[in-house]
Amino acid sequence: MPQIEIYKGSNGDGWFLCRNELGYVYVVHEPNEASGGKGSAVGIGDFLSQQNTGPEHQALLQLIGSLVEPPQR
């Protein structure tokens, strides 16, 4: 499964952009070991529509923006 690290928090949490064999794109959150939390996966559309402006959301938007060439002047 291809994946790209989107953001790594100072506390060790990680967010990854992933695609499965069917082409479905989603975001995986892997909490740090100390938190004892479970990882989670959410579709990219749901992730971006979460009315959240956290650094992981901003990092994903920057990644998406980097795929588009700047306008020619």
CB burial readout 22-46, b (16+ within 10 A) else e: eeeebbbbbbeeeeeeeeeeeebee
Domain boundaries defined on the chain: 3-66
Per residue in 8-50, pLDDT (tens digit) is 999 999 999 999 999 999 999 999 988 888 899 999 999 998 8
* pLDDT value for 36: 81
Report residue 36: phi and psi, to 5°.
70, 10
Smallest Cα–Cα separation from 42: which of 63, 22, 15, 61? 15
pTM, 2 dp: 0.82
